[in-house]
Amino acid sequence: MTSEYSSIQQMVRQALQNASLEDEPEKSFLTKAGVKMGNPPTYGGERNLEKFETWVASILRFMSMYNLFGPRASKIQLQLLGQCLTDEAQEWFYRQVERFDREVKHWDLESVLMGLQKWFMPTLSLNKVAVGYDHLMQGSMNVQQLHQQLTKLAKQMVELPDAYSYRRWFMNALKPSIREEVLGKGFTTEFSKIDELVEQAVIVDNAKRYTSGYNINYSQ
């Protein structure tokens, strides 16, 4: 996956996969009960990857609550999406998706969201994600927090790191004393699964944290 932004694509595909397979989207429980959730959030073209992902997650959640993921709901999805865009993003949507002379004739929810991301997320923003991933260190985080932060950054990259690269970065980011003990137990980036490395690192980290006189902000 070299040209696609994996995190957005995964979110959309997971939402569609979890959706009902009914021919027509039924009215949601909220609609039947007369409950209104207010207007969905809007996006105006801000160059902030994390905010964009949060907006996408909110849009998908809104569509799910109103059962707008059915096979025949594609047109409704795009209409709603268009209403959730403002300023530069709204202009992009009109030029690329709505104009009669648009270059791409067929759009769906996934392609529009990915198109927005590719257009409004500058290379600098994506480079910052990669730099953050490459230079992240455990510091005051516990092992689980480190793993979660690395995973979050990896999903924001243009291309997901392969499994070996991820294991290597995880081990490099650990405090030296934790890494040495994990390696001393025979767990390595070459032959161990990431779940095994995380599990062993958590065990070592927890043991150190409960050691008498242990400083939670230790640097070794």
8-38 confidence digits (pLDDT tens): 788 888 888 877 555 444 555 445 545 566 7
For residue 189, the model assigns a pLDDT of: 92
What parts of the chain have a pLDDT lower than 70? 1-6, 20-37, 71, 122-135, 156-159, 212-220
pLDDT of residue 33: 47
Tell me the CA distances in angstroms from 175 to 141, 161, 172, 208, 215, one per residue in order: 10, 22, 8, 11, 13
- Given the structure tokens 């400083």, which residue do they identify? 215
Query: Distance between alpha carbon 5 and the CA centroid of its chain, in Å?
Result: 9
Q: What is the pLDDT of residue 37?
A: 60
State the Cα–Cα distance between residues 54 and 51, nearest whole angstrom.
Answer: 5
pLDDT for residue 188:
93
